[in-house]
Amino acid sequence: MRTPKWLEDAVFYNIYPQSFYDSNDDGIGDLNGICQKLDYIAGMGFNAIWLNPVYESPFRDAGYDISDFYKIAPRYGTNEDFKRLCEEAGKRGIRVIMDLVAGHTSVECEWFKRSAEPEKNEYTNRYVWTDSVWDNGDKGSFISGWSDRDGCYMNNFFYCQPALNYGYKNVTRPWQLPMDHPDCMETRRELLNIMDFWSDLGASGFRVDMALSLVKGDPSGEGIKELWQYLRKEYKSKHPDGVLISEWSYPMDAIDAGFDVDFLIHFGNKAYTTLFRYEKGTNQSQQWCGNSYFRAEGLGGTDEFLSIYNEHYEHVKENGFIAIPTGNHDMQRISIGRDETDLKIAYTFILTMPGVPFVYYGDEIGMKYIEGLHSKEGGYNRTGARTPMQWSRGKNLGFSKSDTTYLPVDSSENAPVAQEQENDEDSLLNYTRKLIRIRKENESLHASAGFMVLDTGYPFVYRRGDILVVLNPKNESVSVDTGDGSVCLASVNAQIKNGKLITDGKGAAVIKLASTGN
Ligand code: GLC
Ligand code: CA
């Protein structure tokens, strides 16, 4: 394995900083707030944090529009606070991974302002521009009429996120620069510099936003692989223990390109979607209509997931990992249409699969996707998954003492809160904690340990070394042979009797087998 060893038993907690904990009563979460909650995070067993962007930004895309890559946004604190957060996390065995928005900046970034000037300067080619305002490119999306510079800039996501220029793999127009153009090499150098800067302050790696988007004119994908292989080599030469995690959603390509971990989630592939997101009415995209496997109705299947998963898994397993998250800031929460039992079954899957699991803040208590919110900072339909963490009963459910908060706190009477769940042995929080502990304690459940599917229906059954996992989301009882002497390490509505695991409707179990057999 070329990946850093610490990934073997890593379980990530994904924190959306503005909504985690407000330490100075201004209504918005901050770095010191995260610092104050490190004992909670460590107590859950998480040993790594992925922080959504915390850099200075005008926040038109919640911080994915960066105006200064070298500065923590004042609303979150200071660079010094970041350093302290990494130190305090480190003392508790937790590593902090930053979000690296490598493909674009905000229009308010100094580099872009210089780039938009009509006179040539060192930033002229830092972004992708056409050479006339009347030429809005062949492909991609370009913005015209922004500045006195005679040209259109390419936007990478929203209009306010101009694409940084790492060059074109295939140059077909005079304004397109080849990847090895000195100015494009300069963009690379800057990115590496940013990575060094935060690594020196304590970051243990990066989740790279839209990692696939950096090279333009690259239909074969060769250019982007070339670029990341280069960046990996440079980064790892200085930070061998640092990790590179991609938002690519095609692990085969991402790991070949040099990433350690890639998410298998959205962007058209049907893996995650068929398990959790085929919910009628909750997705905008028509193609996502059907029945999720993890639903009590039991009308879904695992075949589509497994065929995609296995192909990627077989391809990457010597060199990197697939990450399956409970959710993230871009999707509706996994709790949509699921009760606590359904979630326990889903987490039994997520926390026992190979690779690196991620838990989105609040999913450990079953926080709801809040419907009907106005878009906040470019969130649109993502906004409902970004509401404040629910800590305890009382004002703003313990998130902030301010009268107004970044987003409204879940106002429902039965809104789950961490403090109550801490005190309830059977809570989702304590079940999640138990799964994390079992994962860390059993090498068979570590990232690179084996994986063998035994049954693909209801139940879905797989072996990982001496561990057997049985998942039965369907509301119908099933039984599975376990042999004598096997023990349940964790279970939901299930027990072992006479060499058989019996689950009632909606059950799951993680079983340590007495004899590992073949
Ligand atoms: C990624 C982020 C998303 C952001 C976009 C543009 O998909 O996860 O939140 O809006 O990139 O940076
Ligand atoms: Ca604050």
DSSP calls for 111-137: HHHHHTSSS--TTTTSB-B-SSTT---
Q: What pLDDT score was predicted for residue 322?
A: 96
Mean pLDDT of 250-274: 86
The answer to whether residues 347 and 431 touch, using CB atoms and an 8 Å cutoff, is yes
How far from each other are the two terminal CA atoms of the chain, in whole angstroms? 24
Q: What is the pLDDT of residue 280?
A: 52
Ligand 1 neighbours, Cβ below 6 Å, are: 61, 64, 101, 157, 209-210, 247, 329-330
Given this model, what pLDDT does residue 518 score?
A: 45
Residue nearest to atom 9 of ligand 1 (CA): 330
Which ligand is in closest contact with the Cα of 66? 1
Does 286 have pLDDT greater than 70? no
Find the 102 Cα to ligand 2 centroid distance in Å: 26
pTM of the model: 0.97
The predicted model gives 317-328 an average pLDDT of: 96
Among 55-64, 97-106, 330-339, 395-404, the least confident range: 330-339
Token look-up 């209509």 returns 289
Q: Ligand 1 centroid to 261 CA: how many Å?
A: 17
**pLDDT at residue 267 is higher than 80:** no
Give every CB contact of residue 23 below 8 A, 6+ residues apart in sequence.
Answer: 30, 32, 33, 35, 36
What is the three-class DSSP state of 438? helix
**CA–CA separation, 461 and 179 (whole Å):** 47
Q: Which ligand is nearest to the CA of 164?
A: 1
Residue 452 three-state SS: strand
Among 209, 265, 266, 376, say which to mutate for ligand 1: greatest number of ligand atoms within 8 Å of CB. 209
Kindly give the number of the ligand 1 atom that is closest to the alpha carbon of 103: 12
Report CA(55)–ligand 2 centroid distance (Å).
15
Q: How confident is the model at residue 106 (pLDDT cuts 50, 70, 90)?
A: very high
Query: What tokens does 175 get?
Result: 């304004």
Residue 88: other Cβ atoms inside 10 A = 19
pLDDT of residue 271: 77
**How far is Cα 154 from Cα 164, in angstroms, rounded to an integer?**
9
- Helix (H) / strand (E) containing 209: none
Among all ligands shown, which has an atom nearest to the Cα of 209? 1
Contact 367, 418 (CB under 8 A): no
What pLDDT does 5 receive?
Answer: 98
Burial classification of residue 138, based on how many CB atoms lie within 10 Å of its CB (0-12 exposed, 13-18 middle, 19 or more buried) = exposed
pLDDT confidence bin for 461, thresholds 50/70/90: very high
Per the listing, tokens 């042999």 go with 483
Beta bridge partners of 207: 99, 245
Three-state secondary structure call for residue 488: strand
210 CA → ligand 1 middle, Å: 7
What's the 472 CA to ligand 1 centre distance in angstroms? Answer: 34
281 pLDDT more than 80: no
How many degrees, rounded to 5, is the angle at CA 185 between CA 181 and CA 188?
150
